[in-house]
Amino acid sequence: MTDSPVPDETLIRADAVHKRFGGITAVDGVVFAARRGELVGLIGPNGSGKTTLVNLLTGHLAPDSGEIFLGGHQVTHLPAYRRARYGVGRTFQMSQLFRRMTVLENMLVPGLTFPHLSREVIAARARAHLRFLGLNHLETLPARSLSGGQQKLLELGRALMLDPTLLLLDEPFAGVHPTLRDGIIERILQLHASGRTFLIVDHDIEAIQQLATRLVVMARGRVIADGSPADVRGNRAVLAAYAGT
Amino acid sequence: MDIFLAQLLNALLYAAVLFLIAGGLSLIFGVMRIVNLAHGSLYALGAYVMAWGLGRLAGESGSEPVYLIALLPVAAVAVGATGAVVEPILLRPLYARAEEYQLLLTFGLLLILEDAMRYIWGPTPLTASPLWAAFGTLHLMGATYPRYNVVVILLGVLTAVLLWAFVFKTRFGVMLRATSQNRRMAAALGINVGGVYVQAFALGCLMAGLAGAVIVPIQGAVLGMGVDALVLAFVVVVIGGLGSLDGALVGALIVGVVRTVAIQYFPELELAVLYLIAAVVLITRPAGLLGRA
């Protein structure tokens, strides 16, 4: 776990990033920044560009123009795997587990990318994270046999193996049973309290409001609101975007 | 009994060589989803490098078994290195395009390699049978059998064991399997997918080169041998399951046994029987016996 957050230090920043797919502008000049230790919720209607922005921040997509900074360093053209090694962990909208591997093997994969760590150290770290997530009794099962909520937890655990300073979670509550959803929220809050920075994309406004200290709202590829959950709730542009007007 | 044992060993010999070729083909497909049509030519390249090396090292007699130990790694590594050059330069720019482009490119590479081998070593086949003879024969349960063939069988078994250990017991093997299952997620977890790809492709090519090198003392190096090997390797992976190393092993054993039996009892139908089995597997189990749909 990292030290206490440094509230005023920007951890990740997107400067006027654009991304087009054919004739569709998915991200249109977005300016976004998250400070160390923040827990930011990224919301917006379907097709508003949230996941594309996350992909740009993690290096899974390259912007057509604009720049991305991580910890003050330009990382616009740095591939996803290098950003992961610099402490950017992420999960995907649809679970992306290594389905033919066991739960423990899934956890080992990111750890093994650190050549200076021995297998024993990596396995011990993996088991500690599995205990934290309440999945330790499932470590020998194939990942494909887990429930939807357990798969989301395992994805979170796998991202934790990178010892990330920034975690980007894309719809972590989608398709998750309410009981497990509360478990995921609890874990996220614990990890946030330990100093990690979060950017969480979700449609579950209720869950996001329980978590986020700040909400960023996107519509049609642009940021239309950015502020506290209370401010955003009353924002007319946000209401209009969700109403589709 | 002696004929049965000799035929069994023949089946295993054939299966060992086929496993080396088809295992490499399957490894490349399993990790990278590339059907490498040039794989047979890379097998032939291994054969030519081995035959040429033997000629340089020992002249026409080429009769010291130690040459096999010296030249097998050289030929296999030469072909593996070819793969390590081909993947980043020729294949990588095509990953974002439709699969047809990769098929066309690897088919073009097949033709280029065939012509390159013709240009470098000429149209006359290269032989290394003195090396095969130098190993002598083995007397086993009443049967007399070439000792070199047993060496090839053991090499096939050793390669299968080492490959299994590499894929399932090493750090890189875990990353290889992760990348083969989900390359996008693998990248998100810090794996250099490009690095894994070049190593997987080189390893697959190395196996093809090893197969070519090991077969030279038995059948020589001849133009066109790559295409024949490719067709049979496809039969193996269709039966076993493209992308599955277990499948390549099982498919190679099935093809080895069926071919040996066919040659013994109905030699005219040898290939037809193999294609028939492949067709039945394709219809009833399209992903192969051990493949995943």
At A92-125, the pLDDT tens digits run: 988 899 999 999 999 999 999 999 999 999 999 9
CA distance A197 to A176: 23
Is the pLDDT at A211 greater than 50, yes or no?
Answer: yes
CA distances, B111 to each of A79, A134, A189, B38, B39 (Å): 35, 56, 60, 8, 11
| pLDDT of amino acid B61 | 55
pLDDT, tens digit, for every residue of A126-161? 999 999 999 999 999 999 999 988 999 999 999 999
Do residue B177 and residue A97 have CB atoms under 8 angstroms apart?
no
**Chain A residues whose C-beta sits inside 8 Å of any chain B C-beta:** 58-60, 79-81, 84-85, 89-90, 92, 96-101, 105, 108-110, 112-115, 119, 158-159, 161-162
Spatial strand order of the sheet with A24-35 comes to A24-35, A10-21, A65-70, A73-74
The predicted model scores a pTM of: 0.89
- What amino acid occupies position B65? P
Element at A224 (helix H, strand E) = strand A222-227
Question: Mean pLDDT throughout B14-36?
Answer: 95
Q: Is B220 within 8 Å of B126 (Cβ atoms)?
A: yes
Average pLDDT over residues B263-285: 91
pLDDT beyond 90 at A9: no
Q: What is the pLDDT of residue B56?
A: 86
Nearest to A111 by CA among A123, A101, A127: A123
Of the ranges A145-149, A228-232, B83-87, the best mean pLDDT one: B83-87
Q: Which residues of B touch A108 (CB under 8 A)?
A: 174
Map residue A10 onto helix, strand or coil.
Answer: strand
Find the mean pLDDT for residues B154-177: 95
B188 touching chain A per CB within 8 A: yes
pLDDT score at A3: 40
In chain B, which residue's Cα lies nearest the Cα of A54?
B188
Average pLDDT estimate for A162-175? 92
- The order of strands in the sheet holding A222-227 is A88-91, A166-170, A197-201, A39-43, A214-219, A222-227
d(CA B235, CA B256): 11
Question: Distance between CA A243 and CA A240 in Å, rounded?
Answer: 5
Over range B58-70, report the average pLDDT: 75
Across residues B211-217, what is the average pLDDT?
96
Structure tokens given for B155 = 């090499």
Q: Is the per-residue pLDDT at B69 higher than 50?
A: yes
Q: How does residue B278 score in pLDDT terms, banded at 50, 70 and 90? A: very high
- How far apart, in whole angstroms, are the C-alpha atoms of residue A11 and residue A34? 6
* Angstrom distance (rounded) from CA B16 to CA A46: 54
Tokens, residue A164: 């990330």
Q: Give the H/E segment covering residue B25.
A: helix B2-32
Mean confidence (pLDDT) of chain A: 90
CB contact set of B169 (below 8 Å; sequence gap of 6+): none
Q: Among A154, A152, A95, A149, which residue's Cα sits nearest to residue A126?
A: A154
A70: confidence class by pLDDT, cuts 50, 70, 90: very high
In angstroms, the CA A8 to CA A6 distance is 6
CB A104 within 8 A of CB A126: yes
Contact A162/B181, CB-based, under 8 Å?
Answer: no
Using CA atoms, how far apart are residues B266 and A76, in angstroms rounded to an integer?
Answer: 65
Handedness of CA A132, A135, A139, A142 (dihedral sign): negative
Structure token digits, residue B187: 């990248």
The more confident residue out of A97 and A243 is A97
Asked if B69 has any chain A CB less than 8 Å from its own CB, the reply is no
Query: Is pLDDT above 60 for B28?
Result: yes
Domain ranges in chain B are 23-223
Q: What band does A4 get if pLDDT is binned at 50, 70 and 90?
A: very low
**Residue B58 pLDDT more than 50?**
yes
The one-letter amino acid at B127: T
Q: How far apart are CA B87 and CA B97, in angstroms?
A: 15
* Model confidence at A36: pLDDT above 50: yes
